[in-house]
A and B are shown apart, each in its own frame.
Chain A
């Protein structure tokens, strides 16, 4: 029971931190809006005619998935930065299990991602991305799955790093390439074989494809894999990331 309370407390703290940090709110919302508003709109007005699909919708769904996935992944990785300062020192000496710390952090970062999901959705509506109410309702569980999946990826990365400096250094190698390998803005159906392998390894790809499965359900054939395939891959990867990541994290914590 106290472990559940601890998980809720950790999640609560993350949400409070978001709400009281104005600079972070602005930067969290600015990037997706720039991608969709500027990149998505300009791609559609430039190449939209020659393409079979609406590129604004394509970029919108990609950025929606990417933002949620990356928000929880980076949020969990930030445990590293916290470990050396403020409240987290406190968390690590408290009698709660290391697993609760991980779960609390993933839950908290998922809660943090949710307002971003709502904001991007609202922005899409303003730009004229078509939605039905059923579609919005269907996107909510998809967003949750993507958030938790991103969190699990964060745990895996976290378990391999020693400090925040390393985390900042790996960003260009671990996060940035996935933007393009996951096909957020660009098509990935016809890649040269070496990029195709990398793309299939990139976990973010399945988050983006899952989001498109739900958004384009019954419409144009934009997603690469169908919903059950993406869910199955995400499910397996989630389990592997969590087990390997948490075990590595707990061990690395004490054997410095």
Chain B
């Protein structure tokens, strides 16, 4: 569905590439998470893919349409939720949705809600009912809470039934309950419409739900794959042990068939459930026992930290 080939962007007057030769593919219907710290190039990538920014070199296609040469076709099939809310506070909720629908050529222009086609009114009402805001549809946007605004943006972005929905840090600035309902809502949408979701976030727990995670830092891909694969790539669980008599310990580890490396202290690769049994089996008096069990979050920070050094 999305195909990137050596995509590169260098802003004018910048001394390094904001996006630096990135290539990957996203399958149709996939939930794809682009993960990275602030300034990693996530928003730049979304801007390029949604055609509001030209790449410096490289290319990308969405559903077979080139993002530079066929920008208009691409815009028609993507929806986007911006990092900063993009609702017009002077308008009512319904006007925000209506103007979007007309800009996307879904319905002809009409000066008021009552004059819009019945199909439009039905579509809006059913979406609003789904969100439980049907009664507030005619109220000004500024009376809506942050969570409600985000949901309305999602409703709006789905009006033209996009094949790919881009979400640029959609939960930034939301409290925990709003974040959760937003997430549940997105999952429902995805299940029902088969929309490809392209999410950027710097929260790891949000990315863990994804089919594929791509971690970028300083414009480069650091890690790519399923959450399980990223985990096994990034997270190394081991127990660090040492003894006065290192030779004896090494022999014993070999005899017990415990995978280890290092010439002392030794890194013994056991997962947390088997640590106790492994330690009990060792007779050599130990002078050091230290477990290393990073969370995915720690591992992510380690990777990102390593790259920025």
Check A93–B108 contact: CB distance below 8 A: no
Interface flag for B185 (CB, 8 Å): no
Check A94–B103 contact: CB distance below 8 A: yes
Check A13–B99 contact: CB distance below 8 A: yes
Known: A95-B72, A254-B51. 17 other contacts (CB 8 A): A5-B105, A6-B103, A8-B102, A9-B109, A16-B95, A17-B90, A20-B140, A85-B86, A86-B85, A87-B87, A90-B103, A93-B80, A95-B76, A95-B104, A254-B52, A255-B12, A255-B54
Among A6, A9, A16, A90, the residue within 8 A (CB) of B86 is A90
Check B90–A256 contact: CB distance below 8 A: no
Compute how far the CA of A12 lies from the CA of B105 in the bound complex, rounded to whole angstroms: 16
- Chain A to chain B contacts (Cβ below 8 Å), 26 pairs: A2-B105, A5-B108, A5-B109, A9-B102, A13-B91, A16-B90, A16-B91, A17-B91, A86-B86, A87-B86, A87-B88, A87-B96, A90-B100, A93-B51, A93-B52, A94-B75, A94-B100, A94-B104, A95-B73, A95-B103, A95-B105, A253-B52, A254-B54, A256-B11, A256-B12, A256-B53
Compute how far the CA of A256 lies from the CA of B56 in the bound complex, rounded to whole angstroms: 10
Interface 1/0 per residue, A89-126 and B, CB below 8 Å: 11111111100000000000000000000000000000
Report chain A residues within 8 Å CB of B51: 93, 254
Interface flag for A21 (CB, 8 Å): yes
* With A95-B105, A254-B52: A86-B76 Cβ-Cβ less than 8 Å: no
State the Cβ distance, B102 to closest chain A Cβ, in Å. Answer: 5
Compute how far the CA of A5 lies from the CA of B101 in the bound complex, rounded to whole angstroms: 10
Of residues 41 through 76 on chain B, the ones whose CB sits less than 8 Å from some CB of chain A are 50-54, 72-73, 75-76
State the Cβ distance, A234 to closest chain B Cβ, in Å. Answer: 29
Interface flag for A26 (CB, 8 Å): no
Using a CB–CB distance below 8 Å, which chain B residues touch chain A? Answer: 11-12, 50-54, 72-73, 75-76, 78, 80, 82, 84-91, 95-96, 99-100, 102-105, 108-109, 111, 140
Among residues of A, the one whose C-beta sits closest to the C-beta of B75 is: A95
Instruction: Provide the main secondary structure of the chain A interface.
Output: helix
Report chain B residues within 8 Å CB of A92: 52
Check B99–A9 contact: CB distance below 8 A: yes
* Total number of residue pairs linking A and B with CB closer than 8 Å: 88
Check B75–A21 contact: CB distance below 8 A: no
State the Cβ distance, A16 to closest chain B Cβ, in Å. Answer: 6
Report chain B residues within 8 Å CB of A17: 88, 90-91
Among residues of A, the one whose C-beta sits closest to the C-beta of B85 is: A86
Report chain A residues within 8 Å CB of B95: 13, 16
Report chain B residues within 8 Å CB of A16: 90-91, 95
Highest count of chain A CB atoms <10 Å: which of B84, B109, B140: B109
Interface flag for A4 (CB, 8 Å): yes
Compute how far the CA of A91 lies from the CA of B52 in the bound complex, rounded to whole angstroms: 11
Compute how far the CA of A85 lies from the CA of B82 in the bound complex, rounded to whole angstroms: 10
Of residues 1 through 46 on chain A, the ones whose CB sits less than 8 Å from some CB of chain B are 1-2, 4-6, 8-9, 12-13, 16-17, 20-21
State the Cβ distance, A4 to closest chain B Cβ, in Å. Answer: 7
State the Cβ distance, A26 to closest chain B Cβ, in Å. Answer: 16
Check B11–A87 contact: CB distance below 8 A: no
Compute how far the CA of A123 lies from the CA of B76 in the bound complex, rounded to whole angstroms: 48
Report chain A residues within 8 Å CB of B87: 86-87
Report chain B residues within 8 Å CB of A13: 88, 91, 95, 99
Compute how far the CA of A79 lies from the CA of B78 in the bound complex, rounded to whole angstroms: 23
Among residues of A, the one whose C-beta sits closest to the C-beta of B140 is: A20
Check A93–B109 contact: CB distance below 8 A: no
Of residues 69 through 89 on chain A, the ones whose CB sits less than 8 Å from some CB of chain B are 84-89
Report chain B residues within 8 Å CB of A256: 11-12, 53
Check B111–A12 contact: CB distance below 8 A: yes
Report chain B residues within 8 Å CB of A88: 86
Check A254–B88 contact: CB distance below 8 A: no
Report chain B residues within 8 Å CB of A87: 86-88, 91, 96, 99
Among residues of B, the one whose C-beta sits closest to the C-beta of A13 is: B99
Among residues of A, the one whose C-beta sits closest to the C-beta of B156 is: A90
Among residues of A, the one whose C-beta sits closest to the C-beta of B56 is: A255
Check B103–A96 contact: CB distance below 8 A: yes
